[in-house]
A and B are shown apart, each in its own frame.
Chain A
Amino acid sequence: MIWTIARKQLLINVMTQKFVIGFVLCQLLFLLSAVILTRDYEERRASYSAAASQHARQLRQIKVYSQLTITVDRPPAQLSPLCEGFDKRLASEATLSYTRIPEISMGQGEKNPLMVVLKSFDLVAIVQIVLSLLALFFAYDVVSGEREQGTLALTLSHALPRHKMLMGQYLGGMMTLLPMVLVGMILALFVMISSSSIAFSSQDWMRIGLIVAISLIYLSTFHLLAILVSTIVKRSATSLTVLLFCWIVLVVLFPHASAYLAHHIRPVEAKAMVDARARNLRSEMWQRLWSYAKKHPPPPHRWEFIKGRSVYTGDIPYPIMIYYAPREIMLWELEGLKYCLRLDMEYAERIHDLYRSYERTLLRQADLAKMVARLSPAWVYTQAASILAGTDADHYLRFLERARRYRHVVIDYVESKDGLFSLAYFTRRNMNELLTTAELEALRKSRGRRAIDDLIGRGWDEVPPLDLRDMPTFDPVSETIDAQIKRALPELGILIFLNLVLFLLSHVAFLRADVRAD
């Protein structure tokens, strides 16, 4: 019996003009968005590989360990054409060195000031906004309309339990929505896999399947809401108005309002304040470096014996690169390095702590906003979909965390090579081969300037780069599907719970409904 009702409902829906128009427009939107976003993904992929190879090339050119500043790149998520999330809005790389710890940073800002409504135009956004509206339109008059037409009393005059009737109507409506989602997704996936830079693994297919399933559960929420309102309300026109009001509030306003609420309940201090404190710490560090330098003046030296020297600032023994210098100068630089670099690294940690606590307040604020936004199924849905697509904010935070851990791996590696607080940090010479100023002077007197030049060499250009092939590489490993499902579980639970509650409520309302036409 349920199936008869479902088939009837399906036929009623499908035979109308609204189905045809809705269907065609949805497929067009899906197709358009898939084509545009796939192209966009290809471009981002290309610029990612270009950036990654550029950074790798830089790494192959370094000549001393002080130059080891590594930029790690975040590949764009393959499923981002389905659900863009934060993939484009957060930085696509992180730079780290001994004294630099990567912090949260944004990608390019929103280019279009007119885009106040939709942050992105991906497939999930189409389901979230357009299909949810359609789900309302297919169901806003299922009960009230039939009552107005008098067919409801007619149907129920059979020995048909009301829950079966309700179930049938629900299934009929869902069967109308199903082809819209499925055909659209299949079209979009065709576009995506025809691109040379997209290759889905079996796990990706599972993720896509899950996103489709969540899309259906989300649409079912709105469908049930429509059934509920249409049961409670007497007239179809009223039911429609109430539903549109709910839709505006749930889909459009709630996510925005939650941000304002969170901003007022848990204000975060301005980033400029944190930046200012960080600057103060930096200048404090330089003060200490200067006072150290005053206490440890360089031994008397002659510039002509020093070659290829680059430093942060003249008189502080904090060398970056020195091609050749007399032994006592090198010793002075080395002693200084042990103090300066250690201090710099210590201050990097302290500055990082500042940003870390700022980051924590941001996260607390975002958590509150998320909690409030969870009242809106639309937010819950995009959140779940972006977790599965690997484009949510947490995904970026994980990347950042891995980059920070990788910094420690790099430091350990350089220490194992004895390249951190030693001569190898800033030069390729070793102590034994260096002459003192006095010895160099004697040599010049006896054998002339040519001999000095021959001894010192021509400069950095003829030094081969360091061999870093055994350095552990950064792996921007993507999350496994199990972990993603685990993270998306709360959101999924909320959606399913909402469905159950709405179904129960409609059942109760339908049981109590007066089915006679006015």
Chain B
Amino acid sequence: MVKADIRSPELNQTLRVAIGPASFLTLLQKEILDLVLSIRFLVLLMLCALLIPLSLYVNSQTYERWLADYNEQLKIESTLRSSRSGWSGTRPPSPLAVFANGVETSLPKGFSIQPNQIQMDKPRSYGDPIYEIFGRIDFLFVVQAVLSLIAFLFAFDSISGEKEMGTLRLCLANAVPRYKILLGKFAGGMLILVVPFLIATGIGLIVLTATGYPLFDHNLWTKVLLMVVASIVYISTFYVLGMVISSLTHQSKTTLIVLMLIWVVFVLAVPRLSIIVAGMIRPVESDAVIALRKKLLVEHIQQEKGRALKDLYFAKARQKGLAEGALTFDANDPEFVRRRNEIAKPFEARMRDELAKIDEDHQRKKQRQLHLARNIARISPASVFAYVMTDMADTGETVKVRFFDAVRRHYARMDRLVFSRMYQDLITDEGHSWGFGGTLPGEEPPEKPPRFAFRFPEISESLAHSLPDVALLVIYALLFFIVAHVAFIGYDVR
């Protein structure tokens, strides 16, 4: 058996609890002293103080680079001929990507459009392959993976460990209700976990503002505050889960191994597997396949249109007295243009409809797969937390969907204003092919087509979107606490 050292401050505290009037504050004080004096606290302090400010600083440097890149791109776009504006667009980097990288690195930097075609640029990560190889560390990662592990480390012996030491019995020999002990342990442990975390985050934020990060622009700080609150809820979920397992097992070693396995499943396995499993249940064709299908469709309808227009073009050339076998487009003949439109417009409308249908269909399938993956991932608090954080940071799935939607809407606007006023006819005859293209006479597009602009969701919007997930985290914490309580009531402390 372990012989407790009578001189150790922990035991002194326990004895005080056992002997003195067992108020909640005494219990709290005991827990805090117990943990502060352990080496665990030192480890926590070191990891927090090192990782959080450093990751924030490094990521803000990266953000600066992205921003410079974005501004450069905007400058290039503004020097384009005014008629070409709107044919391409860029996406601004989210400033909060400093806290959670999310999709920021994997989303396209921008896009360019042509009639019947949307071409996405390369993602931002394309420029820094080294991070592709070694991965990135951000605030989200530190809380999600490292602090959850530390929360387990703080909680694993809270019940089973004290039982082994024999101090739990001593405590309960007094007239202390069990729920008070549990609450005291929870409050003490959380205080010890949260204070270093908050201090490190504070230092990190000071470093950020000192290096010129726009923390106070556009209400960024409210989102940061919400992220910190979500982190505390997340950490408490893991801490309480640690207490659950600790009051279900009788040896602290067993507690620890069970907790580590839970950690592996929640933090490592579920987020990865949810995507793979969702991909298997609801397979979606890859973007390349869809692009190819759209290209084939465009070619097919173009050919049909060309066959329908052939006679008109030949007749026009004969009428103008051109050489045998020639064909032409005549912009000065309103009758010709009217008849050309009469034949061509139905084909163009069909092409527009079918392309939109392919896109819509594909998008709906992708959306459903994503929903499924998200729902599967909700088994694990770690992925719920990641969803909350990335939604808050404007680097989540919603921003991804929003960006692609914005691009499609922009294309639709350009189509209405510009592309539908252009003609592009391809006519094939006996091995020759002729292409005609330009602006339709009488339907000049606007001088300066609208630029693409991407706006991040309003704070109320991201809040509304992530509220269910935050609620889910709180529910997890409460649920775990209830289970811990039930388990602790039935716990054999001998």
A241 at the interface (CB under 8 A from B): yes
Closest chain A residue, CB of each to CB of B5: A518
Question: Which residues 128-145 of B sit at the A interface, judged by CB distance below 8 A?
Answer: 128-138, 140-141, 144-145
In angstroms, how far is the closest chain B Cβ from the Cβ of A244?
A: 6
B324 cross-chain contacts in A, Cβ below 8 A = 449
Pick from A36, A366, A458: contact of B130, CB below 8 A: A366
B253 at the interface (CB under 8 A from A): yes
B260 cross-chain contacts in A, Cβ below 8 A = 133-134, 137
How many residues of B are counted as interface, with CB atoms below 8 angstroms from the partner's CB atoms? 79
B105 cross-chain contacts in A, Cβ below 8 A = 109-110
Question: Which residues 233-286 of B sit at the A interface, judged by CB distance below 8 A?
Answer: 249, 251-254, 256-258, 260-261, 264-265, 267-269, 271-273, 275-277, 280, 286
Interface with B: A168-176, A253-261, A492-500, which one?
Answer: A253-261
B101 cross-chain contacts in A, Cβ below 8 A = 113, 116
Which of the four size classes fits the interface of chain A?
35 or more
B321 at the interface (CB under 8 A from A): no
Given A116-B141, A242-B39, A270-B69: A109 touches B106 (CB 8 Å cut-off): yes
Closest chain B residue, CB of each to CB of A26: B261
> A242 to B39, alpha carbons, bound, how many Å?
8
> A110 to B107, alpha carbons, bound, how many Å?
10
A10 at the interface (CB under 8 A from B): no
4 interchain residue pairs of minimum CB distance = A459-B431, A259-B134, A18-B257, A109-B106
B494 at the interface (CB under 8 A from A): no
B383 touches A116 (CB 8 A): no
A106 cross-chain contacts in B, Cβ below 8 A = 126, 129, 132
Give the B-binding residues of A (Cβ under 8 A): 16-18, 21-22, 25, 29, 32, 36, 39-40, 86, 89, 104, 106, 108-121, 129-130, 133-134, 137, 141, 148, 237-238, 240-242, 244-245, 248, 252-253, 255-260, 262-263, 268, 270-272, 304, 307-308, 323, 362, 365-366, 369, 373, 393, 449, 458-461, 518
Given A116-B140, A256-B135: A241 touches B145 (CB 8 Å cut-off): no
B431 touches A114 (CB 8 A): no
B275 cross-chain contacts in A, Cβ below 8 A = 111-112, 115
> A175 to B7, alpha carbons, bound, how many Å?
40
Closest chain B residue, CB of each to CB of A86: B133
Given A29-B269, A244-B153, A272-B69: A21 touches B261 (CB 8 Å cut-off): yes
Pick from B273, B377, B431: contact of A461, CB below 8 A: B431
B102 touches A130 (CB 8 A): no
Majority-rule SS of B interface residues? helix
Given A118-B268, A323-B431: A244 touches B136 (CB 8 Å cut-off): no
Question: Which residues 144-159 of B sit at the A interface, judged by CB distance below 8 A?
Answer: 144-146, 149, 153, 157
A252 cross-chain contacts in B, Cβ below 8 A = 145-146
In angstroms, how far is the closest chain B Cβ from the Cβ of A295?
A: 28
In angstroms, how far is the closest chain B Cβ from the Cβ of A103?
A: 12
B390 at the interface (CB under 8 A from A): yes
Contacts A113-B101, A119-B135, A272-B69 aside, 9 further interface pairs with beta carbons under 8 A come to: A17-B249, A22-B257, A40-B276, A106-B132, A110-B125, A115-B272, A130-B268, A237-B161, A304-B323
B40 cross-chain contacts in A, Cβ below 8 A = 241
> A461 to B5, alpha carbons, bound, how many Å?
96
In angstroms, how far is the closest chain A Cβ from the Cβ of B107?
A: 9
A16 touches B431 (CB 8 A): no
In angstroms, how far is the closest chain B Cβ from the Cβ of A376?
A: 11
Majority-rule SS of A interface residues? helix
B430 at the interface (CB under 8 A from A): yes
B134 touches A237 (CB 8 A): no
A116 cross-chain contacts in B, Cβ below 8 A = 101, 135-138, 140-141, 144-145, 386
> A62 to B377, alpha carbons, bound, how many Å?
49
A16 cross-chain contacts in B, Cβ below 8 A = 253-254
In angstroms, how far is the closest chain B Cβ from the Cβ of A324?
A: 10
Pick from B5, B47, B132, B431: contact of A458, CB below 8 A: B431
Closest chain A residue, CB of each to CB of B62: A263
A256 touches B134 (CB 8 A): yes
A133, A238, A262, A449 — which one has the most chain B CB atoms within 10 A of its CB?
A133
A133 cross-chain contacts in B, Cβ below 8 A = 260, 264
What are 14 A-B pairs with beta-carbon distances under 8 A? A36-B277, A89-B132, A104-B129, A108-B286, A109-B105, A117-B145, A121-B272, A130-B264, A133-B260, A238-B39, A244-B149, A248-B149, A258-B134, A460-B431
> A241 to B41, alpha carbons, bound, how many Å?
10
A248 cross-chain contacts in B, Cβ below 8 A = 47, 146, 149
In angstroms, how far is the closest chain A Cβ from the Cβ of B192?
A: 14
Pick from B46, B127, B254: contact of A17, CB below 8 A: B254
B103 at the interface (CB under 8 A from A): yes
In angstroms, how far is the closest chain A Cβ from the Cβ of B71?
A: 13
A104 cross-chain contacts in B, Cβ below 8 A = 129
A110 touches B106 (CB 8 A): yes
In angstroms, how far is the closest chain A Cβ from the Cβ of B354?
A: 24
B130 touches A365 (CB 8 A): yes
B106, B265, B431 — which one has the most chain A CB atoms within 10 A of its CB?
B431
In angstroms, how far is the closest chain A Cβ from the Cβ of B13?
A: 17
A369 cross-chain contacts in B, Cβ below 8 A = 130, 133-134
B53 at the interface (CB under 8 A from A): no
A36 touches B273 (CB 8 A): yes
> A168 to B286, alpha carbons, bound, how many Å?
55
In angstroms, how far is the closest chain A Cβ from the Cβ of B452?
A: 19
B386 touches A114 (CB 8 A): yes
